[in-house]
Amino acid sequence: LALMLLGDINYNLSLGYVLTFLLAMMAVMSMLHAFRNLAHLEIRAGHADAVFSGGTAKFLLHFHNRSKLARDQLCLRNDAGSMISFDVPAQHDSEVAFPVPATQRGWLPLGNLTLHTEFPLGLFYAWSYLHFDTRCLVYPKPLAEAPLPPGDAPDGAGKRSVAGDDDFSGLRKYVTGDALPRIAWKAFAREQGLQVKQFSAQVGEELWLDIAGTPDRNDEDKLARMTRWVLDAEAQGLRYGLRLPDGELPPGNGAAQRDECLRRIALFNLPKRQS
């Protein structure tokens, strides 16, 4: 613009003045709009559902735009390079799921984020740094197959064969690693999403999942096997408990029992800052 203005002055170009000042005005307006696109935008962190190692954690972020003007071409990225683009309509709330690869078990922090925009013309870059104290629990990746250990039932099997509708106790949301035969395909055909059948366990049937009973040598392999055990025991409707060197969880079943077992397995033998 400075060179254009010098040329206009030197050659006394009237139309050149018009073009120069028009471009200057567009640049100023672009800068103001880039700033306005982020100004007074309210952001808060939501929850992040637990995932298995090797998957992708989805951190929910809620954006609230009280302005009568839409916030367009917003970008959110972290230090690792993950990025997502989105818009927030005027006077509207938007929920954004920010993806972060889950590479190892334990707690996965959201970390530092940068919210930025180059709206409307890409001439200016406006940004704001964000940090939320939120994290996602990452379970070990379960083995593809791992036979359950013997249980404490009178017959020594520790499990029963499910037959008839009397043993059916309901449906729950599908979790990665659930056995395919347990998926309620009829519910899926009715567009109710992936759900898994649950069955009631018989009284007196208890199964202890003990890390000392795993044949693996490596701790991570042991935990991967125990993760599979927990998922299969829950899918088969068993009452199961968990034994680790740092404590044990009494037998039970249901989503709460499953989640607590997986939590203890995920955090086993990790430094305190990660557990």
Q: Is 237 within the bounds of a domain?
A: yes
Q: Is 144 within the bounds of a domain?
A: no
pLDDT digits (tens, 9 = 90+) for 138-181: 999 999 999 999 875 444 444 444 433 345 667 777 777 677 77
What mean pLDDT is reported for the chain? 85
Domain of residue 9: give its range.
2-36
Q: Choose the final residue of a domain: 139, 159, 190.
A: 139
pLDDT digits (tens, 9 = 90+) for 72-106: 999 999 998 899 999 999 999 999 999 999 999 99
Claim to verify: residue 248 and residue 195 sit in the same structural domain:
yes
Q: Is 155 within the bounds of a domain?
A: no
Return phi, psi of residue 63, to 5°: -110, 125
Claim to verify: residue 32 and residue 46 sit in the same structural domain:
no
Q: Is 161 within the bounds of a domain?
A: no
Give which of 228, 267, 38 is closest to 135, Cα–Cα.
Answer: 267
- List Cβ neighbours of 175 (8 Å cut-off, separation of 6 or more): 196, 231
Q: Is 157 within the bounds of a domain?
A: no
For residue 201, is pLDDT > 60? no
Distance CA 17, CA 34 (A): 26
Domain count of the fold of the chain: 3
* Percent of the chain's residues with pLDDT above 90: 62
